[in-house]
């Protein structure tokens, strides 16, 4: 099993914490993992993306150049990552914020309105969790439970009720086909 993932969106959408969460979940699950942020010079408002590898074998390069899965959280990310995705790869699109659709036909596309899912839970900042839940369902690389288990380790200062909301968003996200 090898999953190379790119997650991309605006700074503030929880792109980096999503990546760390996946890596941590993979580690707790006994997998080999790596996380690498594409870091920019700006502190706020720029685009953010990161590479995550979850693998049963040793992780070679932490920079995922041909991802198995891309999670597209905002409009500009689609154009950037559509060409990189492996043939047959999975593209998860946050349809709340992304209006365009990929042109490629050799990839699998799942649309999920992440922001709406989060809004329903009255926690607008956890749209990223819905995307991760969707990732769990469609790749099988990690279970929703594994990701939920890693949460208190990564979000050390989060209150229990916030963690519960995160898990709820994960589960909601896992319902999307």
Partner 1 sequence: MGDKLLMKGNDALSEGAVRAGCRFFAGYPITPQNEVPEYMSWRMPQAGGAFIQAESEVAAINMLYGACATGKRTMTSSSSPGISLKQEGISYCAGADLPIFFANVARGGPGLGNIAGAQGDYFQSVRGGGHGDYRTFVMAPGSVQEMGNFPLHCYEVAEKYRVPAMVLADGVLGQMMEPLEFTFPEVDPQKLREPDWALGASTGRKKRAVRSYALAEGKLEIMTLDRAQRYKQIEEREVMFETRQCDDADLVLVAYGTSARACAAAQKLARAEGLKVGLFRPITLWPFPKKALLELAGRVDSFLVVEMSLGQMIDDVKLAVECSVPVHLHARCAGAIPTGEDIFQQLQAVLKAGKGECICCK
Chain residues in the site for partner 1 (CB under 8 A): 20, 23-24, 27, 32-37, 39, 41, 58-63, 65-66
Residues in the chain: 177
Whichever of 149 and 171 has its CB closer to partner 1, that residue is 149
Greatest C-alpha distance within the chain: 43
User: Contact, 147 vs 110, CB < 8 A?
Assistant: no
By beta-carbon proximity to partner 1, the closer residue of 10 and 35 is: 35
Smallest gap from residue 92 Cβ to partner 1 (A)? 22
CB of 61: closest distance to partner 1 in angstroms? 4
Query: Shortest Cβ distance from residue 58 to partner 1 (Å)?
Result: 8
Comparing CB distances to partner 1, the nearer of 55 and 95 is 55
* Cβ-Cβ contacts under 8 Å for 57 (sequence gap 6 or more): 2, 32
| SS3 of 98-142 | CCCCCCCCCCEEEEECHHHHHHHCCCHHHHHHHHHHHHHHHHCCC
**Would you say 20 or 130 has its CB closer to partner 1?**
20
């Amino acid at each position: 099993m090898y999953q190379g993932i790119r997650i991309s969106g605006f700074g503030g959408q929880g792109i980096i914490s999503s990546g760390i969460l996946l890596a941590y979940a993979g580690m707790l699950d006994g997998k080999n993992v790596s996380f690498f942020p594409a870091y920019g010079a700006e502190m706020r408002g720029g685009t953010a993306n990161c590479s995550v590898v979850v693998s049963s074998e040793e992780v070679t390069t932490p920079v995922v150049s041909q991802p198995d899965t891309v999670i597209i959280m905002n409009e500009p990310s689609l154009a950037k990552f559509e060409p990189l995705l492996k043939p047959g790869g999975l593209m998860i699109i946050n349809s709340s914020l992304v209006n365009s659709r990929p042109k490629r036909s050799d990839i699998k596309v799942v649309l999920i309105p992440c922001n709406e899912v989060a809004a329903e839970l009255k926690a607008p900042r956890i749209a990223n969790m819905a995307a991760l839940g969707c990732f769990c369902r469609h790749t099988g690389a990690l279970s929703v439970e594994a990701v939920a288990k890693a949460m208190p380790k990564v979000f050390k200062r989060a209150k229990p009720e916030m963690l519960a909301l995160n898990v709820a968003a994960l589960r909601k996200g896992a319902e999307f086909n």
